[in-house]
Amino acid sequence: MAACVSCSTALDPRWKYCVDCGTPVAAVGPVTIPGAIRPEGERRPPVTRVITTPVLIVIVLAITGSIAAFAVAAQWLG
Ligand SMILES: [Zn+2]
């Protein structure tokens, strides 16, 4: 049974891509070339997050900052 070079998932011969990480099965064969396989620690899960935590922090700071500026301006105007 062939295994994905990226995540070591067992691959079905009918699959065109690894169901786990999306690596093309065409690049996967029974012959493994030393040095062609990435180190284990380098692989990353294919996680896609629309809003990351730093972006969320910036958005919150922008909103609170604009609210504070509006409050100060309202006080100045009476
Ligand atoms: Zn994979």
Ligand 1 centroid to Cα of residue 63, in Å, is 41
Q: Cβ contacts of residue 46 below 8 Å, gap of 6+?
A: 21, 22
20 with 7: CB under 8 angstroms?
A: yes
The answer on 40 and 54 residing in a single domain is: no
pLDDT in tens, 32-51: 556 666 666 666 777 676 77
Q: 73 CA to middle of ligand 1, Å?
A: 56
Do 55 and 68 fall into the same domain? Answer: yes
What percent of the chain stands above pLDDT 70? 73
Which domain, by its residues, includes 33? Answer: 1-45
Q: Are residues 4 and 34 in the same domain?
A: yes
Give the lowest-confidence range in 15-24, 27-36, 66-75.
27-36
Domain count, the chain: 2
- Whole-prediction pTM: 0.32
Residue recorded with tokens 């504070």: 68
- Regarding whether 57 and 36 lie in a shared domain, the answer is no
